[in-house]
Structure 1
Amino acid sequence: MEFDAESFRLLADSSSNGWLVHDAKSKSILWANRTACEEFGYTVEELRSLKAHHMSSQDPRYRRSMGTAWLQAAVVYGSNKRLWKYANRDGDEFMTDAVATLVTLPGTGADDDGPADVILVEFRVLHEADVVPDSSKWVEDSLDRLMLHTSSGMMLLDRDYRVEDVSPFAAKLLGSSVEEMLGQRLDELADIDTPLDDMFIVAEMSKPDGAVTVRMKVSSDSGEVRWLAGILDNVVLDGSCIRVLTVRDISSKVEWERRNAYQEKNLQYMSRYNAMGDMAMILAHDLGQPIAAATNYLDGVRRRLRVSHRESEDLEYGLGQARSQLERVSDIVTSVKKYVRRIENVSTVVDLNDAVEESLYFVRLRAEDKGVEVITDLCAGRPTIVGESVLIGQVIINICVNAIDEIALPTTEEKYMVVSTEMTDDAASVVVRDRGRGMSRAPADMLAAGAFSSKSDGSGIGLVICEHIVQRHGGNITYESNDPRGTAVRISFPLSSP
């Protein structure tokens, strides 16, 4: 069955609760269901022409300004609940438990060309059986209790931000009374995070529909501190503009933010502290390769200088290679210094293909000495990741060197390795494959724990360093069997955002 407008009207008229639909901007009544019309003694057409003070109690606690602030709080927060006392056609007053809810109706805006916001007020009449004999005090206590859990304190301010009206709950939040607050400026009652004469607030509140968010700190005489979040709105009503401030207690939220900030700071400290241990291993493990290579090149230059026929090209080549290796040492040391700081400050966008190409320069030097061929297969596109390029390069070099040492063994017949890059929807990977002995001697999940090393003098510590680095970049290393034999090491990182 189709649920049309007539079906909705029948459903609403069947409700035992009264429904009042207000325009979100003007707060005027647009529609009412049968129960509401019967309680007020007016038809829908008559209710539309009424003002708030015609249908509310004469009790100062239910004056028109507070009703407007109550409805505006529903506009701000989506829903607002409180006790409200109405008056019917005969002047008889009745107490209700009412909930105001912001609702967006499709196709009801100007000229039916777009959605419009309305406020649905659903109320339940509280009869004598629902109210204790001392109704005045019960209403006040219940109002405070209900607003404490489900709603907000409300204040009406003039253009100089002086309090014209305030709900008892708002006064309680600010540690004062209604009488003491009247006539005082808002910044005299609490410390506001943004001064009221700030250019942004002045500009925003000069607009008819302006609204700003403020955070206030309230200190009591006993030293207790309470934090309030407030939304200050300009509300146009009957051609005049009033300022409504709705406030809520966010002390627990601020305390959580403070603790979270402390924990975050402590985690950063512990991260740097642990990183120092990682870096010490990197310095001991990875600096040895370029330093040894530079020493070999310099020894070669020295030997050539001893002979009479000095080939300048050979000398320049040797010195250039030594310089390149020492620059690599410098890059590693610089990366270590950065790495023990906040990781976010040193991360950049890295093209994984470029990182592989740069690393393979040093890998091929080691491969040539061992008689190993290096085959590359880089994916199309730009597999970009966020990280520290030097550290990522060190991981690639370390994994490749381990593969080279395995391939160089006499038992390995096929003297080549394949280094490829792959890209999926959310990850970029470097895969290093060899045709060596494979992983039959140690489970894959124990490799990075230092339980496996193919070298007679190896400790597996390089794999531990690699895994720490990759994990700090949000990635992982997996070890798989290569078909038909050997090992495939996959280094994966999250793809960077475009």
Structure 2
Amino acid sequence: MEPVDEDFRSMIQQSPTGVLLHEVNSLRILWANQTACELFKYDLAELRSLKAHHMSSQNERYHREDGVAWLHSAALFGSSSRQWKYLASDGTEFLTDATATVVRLDGQKVIMVELRPTDHEIGAEEPIDWATVSLERIISHTSSGILVLDDADRVVRASPLAAGLFGKTSEDIVGIHVLELGKMSPESAELDFQQKDTDPNKKINCRIKVKNADNSSRWLAGYLENVEIDDTNLSVLMVRDITDRIEAEEHVAAQRTQLEYLSRYNAMGDMALLLAHDLGQPLAASLNFLSGVKTRINDPHVEADTLSYGIEMIEKQLNRASEIVSSAKRYVRRIESTTATFNLLDAVKESLYFVRLRATEFDVPVKVELGNQPLLLEGEQVLIGQVIINLCMNAIDEIKDSDNNKELHVTLRDDGGLASLSIADQGRGMKEHPADRLALGAFSSKEDGSGIGLIISEQIAQRHGGTIQFTPNEPQGTIATLTLPLKSD
């Protein structure tokens, strides 16, 4: 390839800095300016036929793999700088400060290497560490360490940062198999490492858990890419510390677990309140009928139909008590349930059983429009059920103290991929309490309702990808709308 931009070529030809253009993938030389040709003591045609190891010092500190990794890192991240010693055609060596940069030329990307010879004598060279020099810019900008692996996935080179992340020095880590450095996750990543020889172009993302000297853990994010240069396979693994991110994720998970515990704990409390309240009526009625039967059974003139009626009513009340207990047991049995697909329609119907018990106590009619269409969600039915109960109980508390229409309206519908449940009342409304304060507890001052609170209800809705919104009802009152995403097919 010859650069077609004459102004560019003229400018580069006059530069005192040597310039080489490399093809991005194969890294072969495409072009060089006059300064570079003079440094290497080759003409352009000869330079273009050279391989990387023909141009580099034979000193052990300038491994061919290091040079390939350096240029490859520039291809990955746009730019990379390091000191590098080159070999001229007459056998002399010269040390340079070299910068590799990805540029676009003639419609395609190339790697431009700028060579600035230094005045250091060979004997006065500073010790050159592969990563601290060759990848200094990458490390400083990405806080990443770099490991070079051989074909057997053993470390052959490591930056001090990378070695330190594994609790080792650059010398100590050489020769260790990458899978012995820590525990990889997900498990498929370890399998990918074992099978990567069958797919040289496979890129691997993983997390590595490393044990520190004090038995604490450090988490690293790893990215491995295989590169084949001159028939040699080179693997570069970049690692960076993500312990803070993992700890933050664990903190969020702990908060979620605490929320689940509080929600389930309050669900048990709700059931206890309902059982204590609603079992009292049928049991008291059963005792009254039983007392009446006992009084009349010794009466020689009592009619059989009268005793039968009393026994029948006792049986009816006890059956009612049994239904209440069975419903509570079904509800509580799922308190330890995990995420699963469920029908919101079923959850609403089950929740309304308990809502109606409370509404009957205050003579509040419950009007429902649920339809028959299944509305499938992904989540925890018991938690969503608690949200529904909580919203309805708050609405009933508003209705019972109102002089307006004492009705609770519950509407469920499919709203274009979303399930929308509206709970409307004509209570005190939002004049006293602004909408942005409703979820903070300003909406209700009830003494024995659900207890999980609107703020926790809102958190549960958000966890399921939904929202709770409060809007004014007409002519007075509030509409609470729970919106949840339907499960996609």
Residues 73 and 441 (structure 1), Cα distance of their counterparts in 2 relative to 1, 3 Å cut: closer
Residues 433 and 332 (structure 1), Cα distance of their counterparts in 2 relative to 1, 3 Å cut: same
Residues 490 and 285 (structure 1), Cα distance of their counterparts in 2 relative to 1, 3 Å cut: same
**CA shift at 1:20, angstroms?**
1.5
- Given that 1:407 and 1:435 are in contact with CA atoms closer than 8 Å, whether structure 2 keeps it comes out as yes
Moved more, 288-297 or 94-103: 94-103
- Given that 1:144 and 1:168 are in contact with CA atoms closer than 8 Å, whether structure 2 keeps it comes out as yes
Task: Show CA shifts across 1:408-431 (max 9, x none).
Answer: 56822x343321235667864422
Report matched runs for 1:29-108 at 5 Å: 29-32=29-32, 36=36, 40=40, 45-74=45-74, 80-88=80-88, 93-100=93-100
1:390 paired with 2:382, answer yes
- Given that 1:448 and 1:460 are in contact with CA atoms closer than 8 Å, whether structure 2 keeps it comes out as no
**CA shift at 1:203, angstroms?**
3.2
Gaps of 5+ in 1: 109-117, 339-344
- Given that 1:449 and 1:464 are in contact with CA atoms closer than 8 Å, whether structure 2 keeps it comes out as no
**CA shift at 1:89, angstroms?**
5.0
Residues 389 and 271 (structure 1), Cα distance of their counterparts in 2 relative to 1, 3 Å cut: closer
**CA shift at 1:448, angstroms?**
4.9
Letter in 2 for 1:288: L
Report matched runs for 1:19-418 at 5 Å: 19-24=20-25, 26-32=26-32, 36=36, 40=40, 45-74=45-74, 80-88=80-88, 93-100=93-100, 120-128=111-119, 136-138=124-126, 140=128, 144-145=132-133, 147-148=135-136, 150=138, 153=146, 155=148, 157=150, 166=157, 174-175=168-169, 177=171, 185-187=175-177, 191=181, 193=183, 201-207=193-199, 209=201, 235-238=227-230, 240-242=231-233, 244-248=234-238, 250=240, 253=241, 255-256=243-244, 259-260=247-248, 263=251, 267=255, 271=259, 275-276=261-262, 282-285=267-270, 287-300=272-285, 306=293, 307-310=306-309, 318-334=317-333, 338=336, 346-364=338-356, 367=359, 372-378=364-370, 384-404=376-396, 406-407=398-399, 411-412=403-404, 414-418=405-409
Q: State the distance in 2 between where 1:9 and 1:408 align.
A: 87
What secondary structure sits across from 2:279 in the alignment? helix
Q: State the distance in 1 between where 2:216 and 2:386 align.
A: 54
Aligned residue pair count:
454
Residues 120 and 376 (structure 1), Cα distance of their counterparts in 2 relative to 1, 3 Å cut: same
Q: Indicate the residue corresponding to 1:431 in structure 2.
A: 422
TM-score computed with the length of structure 2 as normaliser: 0.69
Residues 135 and 318 (structure 1), Cα distance of their counterparts in 2 relative to 1, 3 Å cut: farther
Q: State the distance in 2 between where 1:123 and 1:356 align.
A: 70
Residues 175 and 371 (structure 1), Cα distance of their counterparts in 2 relative to 1, 3 Å cut: closer
Quote the sequence identity (%): 31
Residues 247 and 367 (structure 1), Cα distance of their counterparts in 2 relative to 1, 3 Å cut: closer
**CA shift at 1:372, angstroms?**
4.4
How much is the aligned-residue C-alpha RMSD, in angstroms?
A: 5.0
**CA shift at 1:404, angstroms?**
4.3
Gaps of 5+ in 2: 140-144, 294-305
- Given that 2:420 and 2:482 are in contact with CA atoms closer than 8 Å, whether structure 1 keeps it comes out as yes
Residues 70 and 427 (structure 1), Cα distance of their counterparts in 2 relative to 1, 3 Å cut: same
